Amino acid sequence: MGLLDKLSGLLGLKKKEVHVLCLGLDNSGKTTIINKLKPSNAQCQDIVPTIGFTIEKFKSSSLSFTVFDMSGQGRYRNLWEHYYKDGQAIIFVIDSSDKLRMVVAKEELDTLLNHPDIKHRRIPILFFANKMDLRDAVTSVKVSQLLCLESIKDKPWHICASDAIKGEGLQEGVDWLQGTSHTTVHL
């Protein structure tokens, strides 16, 4: 069973489609992670390259993924925020070796958490502290400190160290998402 098949048990809803948002700064590893998660027969629904802004959408069985970069595109913010209300789980990817932009990742996370379509929902957030294989990478504990994850009280969250190229850590994250969402996501 592929990782994505396992995930499709998410929410225990076999029929209804579950929307997962995969977010993070550009170059953090989102596309690599999603490519590892999706089975080879997943349809690439559409890649929408508006000027300077790309939304990747994948669909497989009862799961759909919407993936986009949150950085350097402030003026496209309202385009991507439009997807928030349909998201039932969030995968937030961080480049653990990019210390310079960790503060930007934190700003984007804070903006996300304060968005009206996210703020009052107990939507589970899975963080991937990605690129753990790189010499410059900080630990997942350090990433969670830098992003102040402990201050997230009203949503279930979990952080996993990952190496998306080798596929390490992804299973643990998917298992957590699958386990948590039965009790925490209300439709």
Among 158, 80, 78, 154, residue whose Cα is nearest residue 123: 154
Establish if 112 lies at the interface with ligand GDP (CB under 6 A).
no
Of 130 and 140, which has the nearer Cβ to ligand GDP? 130
| CB nearer to ligand GDP: pick between 45 and 184 | 45
Nearer to ligand GDP, 53 or 184 (CB): 53
Q: Closest by alpha carbon to 22, among 34, 5, 39?
A: 34
Number of Cα atoms under 13 Å in the Cβ half of residue 121? 20
- By CB under 5 A, residue 35 contacts Mg ion: no
Alpha carbon distance 65, 33 (integer Å): 11
48 is a contact residue toward ligand GDP (CB under 6 A): no
CB closest to Mg ion, residue no: 31
What does R_g of the chain's alpha carbons equal in angstroms? 15
169 is a contact residue toward ligand GDP (CB under 6 A): no
Number of residues that bind Mg ion (CB under 5 A): 2
Compute the least distance from the CB of residue 14 to Mg ion, in Å.
Answer: 29
Q: Is 73 a catalytic residue?
A: yes
Beta pairing class for 18-24 and 89-95: parallel
Q: How many residues would you count in the chain?
A: 187
Residues in 127-166 at the binding interface with ligand GDP, rule: CB under 6 A: 130-131, 133-134, 163-165
**Out of 2, 6, 19, 27, the residue judged to bind ligand GDP by CB under 6 A:** 27
**Nearest in space to 63 (alpha carbons), one of 161, 159, 181, 172:** 181
Q: At what angle do helices 170-184 and 30-37 cross, to 10 degrees?
A: 80
Q: Which amino acid is at 141?
A: V
Known binding-site positions for Mg(2+) = 31, 50
Partner whose binding site includes residue 134, from ligand GDP, Mg ion, none (CB under 5 to 8 Å by kind): ligand GDP
Annotated binding site: 24-31, 50, 72, 130-133
Residue 28 binds ligand GDP, judged by CB under 6 A: yes
Phi, psi (degrees; rounded to nearest 5) at 153: -105, -25
The catalytic residues are: 73
Interface contacts to Mg ion, rule CB under 5 A: 30-31
